[in-house]
Amino acid sequence: MKLSVQQKKAIKHVHGPALVLAVPGAGKTTVLIHRTYNLIENHNIPSERILSITFSKASAMDMMSRFLNSFPSLSKKSPEFSTIHAFCFSLIREYAYMNRISYRLIENERDKFNKYNILKGLYYELNRDYITEEKLDNLLNYIGYINNTMIDVDTFLKKNKVDIENFKQIYRRYADYKRNNNLLDFDDMLTIALEILKNNSYLLGKYRDKYDFIQVDEGQDTSIVQMEIIKILSYPKNNLFVVADDDQSIYGFRGAYPQGLLNFDREYKDGRIFFMEQNYRSSRDIVSVCNDFIGNNSQRYRKNISTDNPSVEPINIIKVNSMEEQYNYIIEDLKENKELSKSCILYRNNISAIGIIETLERNGISFFMRDKKIRFFNHWVIKDILNFMYFAQDTSQMNLYENFYYKIRGYISKRHINYAKTMDSNISVFDRIMKYPENNGFYIRTIGELKLDFKKISNLRPKDAISYIENDLEYDEYLRENSIKFGYTYENLSLMIFYLKMIAENCNNLNEFLGRLRYVQNLCTRSKYNEDSITLSTIHSAKGLEFDRVYIIDLIDGDFPSLSSIESYEKGDISSLEEERRLFYVGMTRAKTHLSLITMNTINEKKCDPSRFLRELYKDFQ
């Protein structure tokens, strides 16, 4: 295999610490496996004394496969390629055996006894309410961030807004419960492994003696606790070889710490830094624009990305009037390019998948989804709309009305609700409220109008019913006033209703609509079996992949970059916006020859602004 001068320099490094900064498409895995071969064949290093660490099981398996395919003569001397969690778990098992401790892993969702159910129970115990899937995800992210950054819960709460009631108590009770019952989640594998290495001199010495050379893949994704484990393990030999790209660090919410890379030369005075700046993946057009774009970040190593690949076509920035036009553009473009398996549609948030799924299905285009969890179908906005529609079919259902009465016009109070609960549950909620003894003329009229509103909704086609709820019942106003409180932008919540109306487009009644919702949800689940299909993915999930054609959609300011990143930037904190710029950069560099960036003037008939990142790409973009 032909290697570049930059690749050869990194591969030939043997002793002492080294950081290899590899731009997208630079062949970092190639360098890792060739350097491994070089250590074994040319420097007589026993393969079992080389540990290569990566951060996903798929990456570890891919590295092993590529090593064996490249060097079949070493199949009996294959070195160890492991995830950081697998390494830590093996260390903990050995420690547990020595100390007669029986640990139990609580990561498997299929087991009834798992971390998800434990946290659900603690949340209910402290808040007397059931946690939503979305909040459960946030709760897990917060806990993971605290553990990976090695800060205490109070420090975290001073710097971050959380949407979890009694979060501090939940965090501490969860930690105590695990400790008292010898339970392990993925975070514990790291924190307990570090604790063992710091406090058990026998195991520390054993593992230091076991490995002479440690290699780290995707170094930009390491958290503080992960890097501490790697540092303590490699000391005092410090034969540490880290391959990374600080410009592709996009997991800050999980505790990734790219600043560790920026401090590498201070941490290791004798360390060497190698640059691999040649991109073998993308066309010259894409590489040139991406190089200029990521240069807008200040917290990074300065690199000059280049390629020997020819120019093919300029990056396409497409501005359309509406979401429908965005989808139509993609469909027409795909019809001209038959190799769907070489194409990918990327987005910032996986909620964006809903509209494109609905459109692809209507046009008979098969797709494959990389993200397993789409929170759209269980989101509270969707549940609200469905509750309105269920209630319209039977207005005696107080349990439904009680969930949303304060989210629409009408000025119905809790007193009205409590009074209505004392009456015959078989008659309409509105007829019950009408009899409230303190009602005046205004309330009588209002309640009568609401009764007519829901009668009308019951007779409308689903799409029209959703619009009626949104506008005439003023649910849209509720979303506008409360979005920030719930941790969303108004545009994001409005988008959910837009998608719901898309799904309802050709439905004539509620049953048809519910069936279509289930069908679309099933399409997402079944997509993993689709072959020769276009890939749909968040940019986070697409990292490490490449495609001939890439479309990045929904490029709206406040969504990408997010409103919170923009607000932090305006207050002087640039870190969040710089991570979002890195994310945008990762998305663009997935493309080999064709890259389309799509924005629009309106979402759900409401004006929006294109992503500010598009103006960074082309100063004249309006």
Check pLDDT > 90 for residue 392. yes
Q: How far is the C-alpha of 440 from the C-alpha of 411, rounded, in Å? A: 12
Q: What is the pLDDT of residues 6-64, one digit of tens each?
A: 999 999 999 999 999 999 999 999 999 999 999 999 999 999 999 999 988 888 999 99
Q: What is the DSSP letter of 487?
A: T
Q: How far is the C-alpha of 92 from the C-alpha of 348, rounded, in Å? A: 37
The helix (H) or strand (E) run that includes residue 607 is strand 606-607
Q: With CA atoms as reference, report the closest residue to 496 among 616, 374, 317.
A: 374
Q: What is the pLDDT of residues 400-432, one digit of tens each?
A: 999 998 999 888 888 888 888 888 888 898 888
Check pLDDT > 80 for residue 93. yes
Whole-model pTM: value is: 0.91
Q: With CA atoms as reference, report the closest residue to 193 among 233, 156, 238.
A: 233
Number of Cβ within a 10 Å radius of residue 508: 11
Phi, psi of 83 (to 5 degrees): -75, 160
pLDDT recorded at residue 73: 86
pLDDT recorded at residue 622: 62
Q: Residue 235: helix, strand or coil by DSSP?
A: coil
Encoded amino acid at 188, one letter: D
The helix (H) or strand (E) run that includes residue 596 is strand 591-600
Q: What is the pLDDT of residues 475-516, one digit of tens each?
A: 999 999 988 777 777 888 888 999 999 999 999 999 999 999
> Using 50, 70 and 90 to split pLDDT, how confident is the model at 1?
low
How many Cα atoms within 13 Å fall on the side-chain side of residue 368? 16
pLDDT recorded at residue 185: 95
Q: What is the pLDDT of residues 515-563, one digit of tens each?
A: 999 999 988 888 888 888 999 999 999 998 999 999 999 999 988 999 8
Q: How far is the C-alpha of 158 from the C-alpha of 167, rounded, in Å? A: 13
Encoded amino acid at 210, one letter: K
Structure-token pair, residue 95: 């420690």
Please give the span between the terminal C-alpha atoms of the chain, in angstroms, as a whole number.
46
Q: How far is the C-alpha of 391 from the C-alpha of 453, rounded, in Å? A: 11
Check pLDDT > 90 for residue 277. yes
The percentage of the chain sitting over the pLDDT mark of 70, rounded to a whole number, equals 99
57 contacts: CB under 8 Å, gap ≥ 6: 83, 86
